[in-house]
Amino acid sequence: MQPGLIGILVAVGVVVLLALVLGAWSWASYHSLVALRGRVDEAWADIVAQLQRRAELVPTIVETVRGYASHESRVFDSVAVARTETLEATTPAAASAAEGRLQTALRSTFAVSESYPQLQASQGFLQLQSELVETEDSLQAARRSYNGGVRELNAKAQGFPARLFAPRLGVTSRDFFEVDAPSTIAEPPRVQF
């Protein structure tokens, strides 16, 4: 073979090898991005399920406390409004805002309940509170999972080569599920006995 032809074949081989490596890297990035998007969507669905579960508990808790403290209608009305906002939230930003308001309203309800020893001794009320605490713990776990997935997805979508095809897949940066005042969700509402 002629030396010039060998040089051309080596150059073509290097180009083909680079194209194959770049193609494999792009393919792996694409599938990783699709998997991350699915994981984030699944984590958001888990958050929505936990918010729904809690929203189903709230009216029962409110009615139980209302049976003992019917004159506290302002507190109960604020819980109802916050619960409705939580159920109507469709984005992480809207859910985050509603979350802070609901936590504050629930704390007020439990503060009212502390004035009624008969209520605090009620097995039904204790069971409802236990279910609420379980739900709050599950919600916190779902929130951590979602935010971790969003962090990973956002980083992956901004990196190369995913940045080239992420917009065509409909993958954009996602919002974290956070609240304006983190202290409102730092601990689930609890009644002290």
Amino acid present at 5: L
Q: Domain of 131?
A: 29-184
Domain assignment present for 10: no
Highest mean pLDDT among 83-87, 163-167, 169-173, 175-179 belongs to 83-87
Number of domains in the chain: 1
**Is pLDDT at 183 greater than 80 in this prediction?**
no
pLDDT number for residue 44: 94
**What per-residue confidence (pLDDT) applies to 150?**
94
Mean pLDDT score of the chain, rounded to an integer? Answer: 84
Cβ-Cβ contacts under 8 Å for 103 (sequence gap 6 or more): 179, 184, 185, 189
pLDDT grade for 71, boundaries at 50, 70 and 90: confident
Is 18 within the bounds of a domain?
Answer: no
Structure confidence at residue 188 as a pLDDT band (50, 70, 90): very low
Kindly give, in sequence order, each residue whose CB lies less than 8 Å from that of residue 185, ignoring residues fewer than 6 positions away: 99, 100, 103, 140, 179
| In contact, 55 and 86? CB cutoff 8 Å | yes
**Residue 101 placed within a domain:** yes
Residue 19 included in any domain: no
Under the banding of pLDDT at 50, 70 and 90, the label for residue 28 is: confident
Give tens-digit pLDDT for 95-115.
988 888 888 888 888 888 888
pLDDT, one tens digit per residue, over 46-56 is 999 999 999 89
Whether 166 is covered by a domain: the verdict is: yes
In this structure, what CATH number is given to the domain that contains residue 44? 1.20.1440.20
pLDDT class of 72 with cuts at 50, 70, 90: confident
Asked, for residue 193, whether it belongs to a domain, the answer is: no
- DSSP 8-class letter at 186: S
Mean pLDDT calculated for residue range 76-92 = 89
SS3 category, 188: coil
Report if residue 12 sits inside a domain. no
89 within a domain of the structure (yes/no)? yes
pLDDT bracket for residue 193 (50, 70, 90): very low
| Burial bucket for residue 107 (CB in 10 Å: 0-12, 13-18, 19+) | middle
Confidence tier at 121 by pLDDT (50, 70, 90): confident
